[in-house]
Structure 1
Amino acid sequence: MISDEIQRELQALGSIGKAADLARFFKTGPGEYGEGDRFLGVPVPGVRSVARRHYAEAGDKDLCRLLESDFHEVRLCGLLMLVERYERTRTRAVRAATADFYLRHRTHINNWDLVDLTAYKILGRETFDTNNADLLRSLSDSERMWDKRIAIVATMYWLRQGHSDLTFELALRNLNHPHDLMHKANGWLLREAGKRDIVALCDFLRTHIHSLPRTTLRYAIERFPAEDRQAFLNLSKTLEHA
């Protein structure tokens, strides 16, 4: 099967030292968000190269095997192959089937980079093209944190088409999620929304400043002028101690 060849190529590109670094970076220790994940030590450009070389010849069974791998880079490769399949076809039925495959196998999308490199390119575009924001709302209400992150990151595609309301809505739904990874994702997408509509972002921040996690706020205002950043941080601190 082509999946075996892909895994051999990824193993050949790996590095024991890099694998150890990645395991620490992606928090794979006991009790951490990536607990138990394993790495080959392949940089993302190498994974992308393998994915682009083989996506056209890989069937769904190959992709299933890749997504079920214990190794992070193998799962990433399978997901990037899905992105290639989705973006390179002009057939609506193939795109719909690819998005459905992604959705049905999302239990294997279990770290932030796997989400961030793929969610908006597949589910973001699919939900926009089919006007199916309810799918992202459903994921946003899931008990699973990675589903929630998929939902908010997917709105990146909506933002790039000039639609920011969904980003604000989904950020608000999980504004007080307990995990820092959601605080970062919400702040990142709010910042991106602000690039399109700075007035809407400022209104959102002022309205919810009393409940904004500090990390979310810092990410959201990262591109503000220094004076404006400090004003929002001071307001947040004042309310925190009120």
Structure 2
Amino acid sequence: MTGSQLTAARFAERIEALRVPTGRDRVRMREVFALAREFIDLPGTEIDKLLDSDVHEVRIGALSVMGKQAVRKNTPEDIRAELFALYLRRTDRINTWDLVDVSAHHVVGGYLRDKPRDVLYRLARSAHWWERRIAMLATLAFVRGGDLDDTFALAGLLVADTHERVQTVVGGMLREAGKHDRDRLLAFLDRHAATAPRVLLRYAIEHLDPEQRAHYLDRHHYEPYTAGSGRIGR
């Protein structure tokens, strides 16, 4: 694709051309992600324009482009830094669970792998649930390299969060960390299982032995009000 075609307007046009005239009038996500691969060289200024869109699939596509750029081996470090800065500047437009999950771990977590991570703790204390979800999901990039400290630290901050979309990602990241260090996960559960939200607990214990799952569920006695739902892993 030529540089003259790499524009936000062209991307949005292509999204609309993919729209399926069903009752939900939707675009299939696999087609959005395939289009993002075509537009992987989209400049940051054009990605920024896409994030302004009211069309959900357009924003999904923009974030998919960002994630693909961030993980591409030949992407220069200065471009990764620009993507990171753009992501944090536009969190107001990354405000659903699936928008977060498309690339928070690639754009935010990937950039911070060898850098200070104070920004994640600021996000974890945000009044906006999607920023708290970003903070937690970003640590997936660290977990995949066996670096678990921030995952457990942020989980400790968010273990009592009342929003289900935060609860699911905290539990999911604990589950992933537990694949690397089962004893550390069990120690966390020993401290928090009795009072953690039940959905968080169920995600965290998903890969434990049946007896261990039963043990921690039996200890649980707290069920806060929650709203919404959402799974990680897009």
When normalised by structure 2's length, the TM-score is: 0.87
Distance in 2, Cα, partners of 1:180 & 1:209: 16
Give the conservation status (yes or no) of the 8 Å contact 2:48–2:86: no
* Residue among 207, 213, 234 paired with 1:223: 207
1:48-74 alpha-carbon deviations (Å, 9 max, x no partner) = 111110121x22332122111111110
Distance in 1, Cα, partners of 2:69 & 2:210: 43
Q: Sequence identity, in percent? A: 34
1:12 aligns with 2:17: yes
Counterparts in 2 of 1:127 and 1:144: CA distance versus 1, 3 Å: same
Higher RCO, 1 vs 2 (CA within 8 Å, ≥6 residues apart) = 2
Structure 2 residue aligned with 1:195: 179
Structure 1 residue aligned with 2:102: 117
Q: Look up the SS of the partner of 2:189 in the other structure.
A: helix
Give the conservation status (yes or no) of the 8 Å contact 1:127–1:135: no
* Residue among 193, 197, 202 paired with 1:209: 193
Pairing 1:20-39 to 2, within 5 Å after superposition: 20=24
How many Å apart are 1:189 and its aligned residue? 0.6
When normalised by structure 1's length, the TM-score is: 0.85
1:157-203 alpha-carbon deviations (Å, 9 max, x no partner) = 11011111211111111211111111111111110111111100000
Give the conservation status (yes or no) of the 8 Å contact 1:66–1:74: yes
Distance in 2, Cα, partners of 1:192 & 1:210: 21
Pairing 1:44-123 to 2, within 5 Å after superposition: 44-56=29-41, 58-88=42-72, 89-123=74-108
Aligned-pair Cα RMSD in Å: 1.7
Runs of 4+ in 1 over 6 A off after TM superposition: none
Distance in 2, Cα, partners of 1:194 & 1:50: 35
Q: Which runs of 5+ in 1 are unaligned?
A: 21-39
Distance in 2, Cα, partners of 1:123 & 1:160: 14
Counterparts in 2 of 1:54 and 1:107: CA distance versus 1, 3 Å: same
Give the conservation status (yes or no) of the 8 Å contact 1:47–1:76: yes
Give the conservation status (yes or no) of the 8 Å contact 2:44–2:82: no
1:79-129 alpha-carbon deviations (Å, 9 max, x no partner) = 111122222234222211121111111211011111112001111011112
1:184-232 alpha-carbon deviations (Å, 9 max, x no partner) = 1111111011111110000000111232111111110111121211111
Q: Which runs of 5+ in 2 are unaligned?
A: 224-234
1:7-62 alpha-carbon deviations (Å, 9 max, x no partner) = 121112112436x3xxxxxxxxxxxxxxxxxxx51122101111110121x22332
Q: Look up the SS of the partner of 1:17 in the other structure.
A: coil
